[in-house]
Amino acid sequence: MENNLLRPEQPLGIFDSGIGGLTVAHAVTRLLPSESIIYFGDTAHLPYGDKSTAAIQAYSIKICDLLLQQGAKVILIACNSASVSAYDLVREYVGSRAKVLNVIDPVVHYIGENYANRTVGLIGTRRTVSSGVYRQKIKALRRNITLKSLATPLLVPMIEEGFVHNRLSQYILDMYLTHKQLESVEALILGCTHYPLIRPEVEAYYGDRLEVIDSSEMVARALYQLLEEHHLLNQSGEGTKRFLVSDFTRTFQSQTRLFFGEKVELETYPLWE
C-alpha cells in the first residue's frame, strides 16, 4: 500500500541556501494553513549560486538528513540553485522516505501550458542560468518556446541586505532589465526565491507589457496537488512552524519579516559541527 509509512500529520521540510526560501514557505502556509513546516536556511554557506555542484549536493544531503530525522513527509527544495544541482541526487537519496519537490518544474509546466510559440525571459543566479536547466526542460516540452536568460548576481546580496524599494535597488534592476538579452520577451520568470520581494518593482518597470512569473505561489499549488494525490493533506488544526539556520546573525533575523511577511524566530542549528 502506497505511503504506509507516511502520514498526513507529519511536517513539511523546506530548505534554501538562506532565508530567501521563506517566500516559498510563506506561500505554502497561506495555501496550507493546517500543515506544519520545518524550514532550514543554510546561511553558513550562502549563496549557493556561486558554489560548485559537488558542494551544493553535499549541503543538500546533510540538510535532507536533518529534515528526515524531524519526520518530514515532503522535502521541498526552495532554492533554484539547489534544484538545479541536487534535485535528482536528493530524490534518489530520500527514496520512499519522503516526497521531493523542486521550484523549477512547476514553473516549467506553467510556461508550457501558457507560452507555446512565444518568447520568455529568465533572471536568476549564475548557477541557475549557466546550468541551462530551464532551457533544457522547456525545450523538452516541444512547444516552440524561446528562452532568453540573464544572470543577475547582484540581486540576492542586495535583497539579503535589505536594499529593496529604494533608489539603489531601482538602479540595479534597471541595469539588468534594460539588458539586450531580455529584449522582446513576453513573460519574465523570477528564477530565484529571493526575487518575489522585488516583484512589484519589476512589474512597475514593465507595466502591462508582460507577465512576471513568481514561482512561490506556483510551487505552493504544486505541493498541494502532490499532497492531495498521495493522500497526505493535513486538514485539521493549525500547523506549527520552526525556522532553523546553520549560522545566526542579527541581519538575517531582522530581514526574515521581509521574506515571510510576519515575525520569525530563528533557531541556530550548526549542522556541520
**96 marked as binding residue:** no
**93 marked as binding residue:** no
**16 marked as binding residue:** yes
Q: Helix H segments across 183-214? A: 199-206
Catalytic residue among 192, 213, 222, 266: 192
Is 79 annotated as catalytic? Answer: yes
**49 marked as binding residue:** yes
Which residues touch 12 (CB under 8 Å, ≥6 apart)? 28, 32, 35, 36, 37, 38, 72, 73, 74, 76, 223
**119 marked as binding residue:** no
Closest CA to 125 of 182, 186, 82, 170: 82
* Dist. CA 77–CA 106, nearest whole Å: 12
The DSSP call for residue 251 is: H
The single-letter code of the amino acid at 101 is L
* Dist. CA 258–CA 273, nearest whole Å: 29
Is 64 annotated as catalytic? Answer: no
The single-letter code of the amino acid at 5 is L
What are phi and psi for residue 38, nearest 5 degrees?
A: -120, 115
Show contacts of 172-178: CB within 8 Å, 24+ apart: 173/198, 173/201, 173/202, 173/205, 174/205, 176/123, 176/150, 176/152, 177/202, 177/205, 177/206
**80 marked as binding residue:** yes
**81 marked as binding residue:** yes
Catalytic residue among 44, 76, 79, 159: 79
Q: In the structure grid, which three cell numbers stand for residue 195, read together?
A: 526575487
Q: In the structure grid, which three cell numbers stand for residue 41, read together?
A: 536556511
**254 marked as binding residue:** no
Query: How many other C-beta atoms can be found within 10 angstroms of the C-beta atom of residue 273?
Result: 6
Residues designated catalytic: 79, 192
Where is the binding site for substrate, in residues? 16-17, 48-49, 80-81, 193-194
Where is the binding site, in residues? 16-17, 48-49, 80-81, 193-194
